[in-house]
Amino acid sequence: MSLENEKMTQKEVAEYFGVTVRTVQRWRVEKIGPAYLQYPGRVRYLREDIEEYENRIRIPFQNISAAYKRRAS
């Protein structure tokens, strides 16, 4: 299995994002987290879906000098 198709547990996803398993469960219930696979009695996440979710929630760094110029105007 390639790394991009690696399946991760809720615990592994929680560790990846630095949150609790309960937070990962809440994301799933509220449909605000990464895509997941639902098997009977267990949930798994594909690493590629975790990385895609991380890219989607990424906030780009604003150019500091441009911000200062706008402030000075």
pLDDT of 1 strictly over 60: no
Is residue 8 classed as helix, strand or coil in its secondary structure?
strand
pLDDT surpasses 70 at 64: no
The pLDDT of residue 53: 96
The answer to whether residue 4 scores a pLDDT higher than 90 is: no
Q: Is domain 3-72 given the CATH code 2.40.40.20 in the classification?
A: no
- Kindly list the domain boundaries of the chain, sorted by start residue: 3-72
Q: Using the predicted structure, report yes or no on whether residue 73 has a pLDDT greater than 70.
A: no
Task: Report the alpha-carbon distance of residue 32 to residue 26 in Å, rounded.
Answer: 8
Residue 39: CA atoms inside 13 Å, Cβ hemisphere, count? 8
Amino acid present at 19: V
E-only strand ranges, the chain = 7-8, 37-39, 42-46
Residue 12: count of CB within 10 angstroms of its CB: 17
Give per-residue pLDDT as tens, 16-62.
999 999 999 999 999 999 999 999 999 999 999 999 999 999 888 77
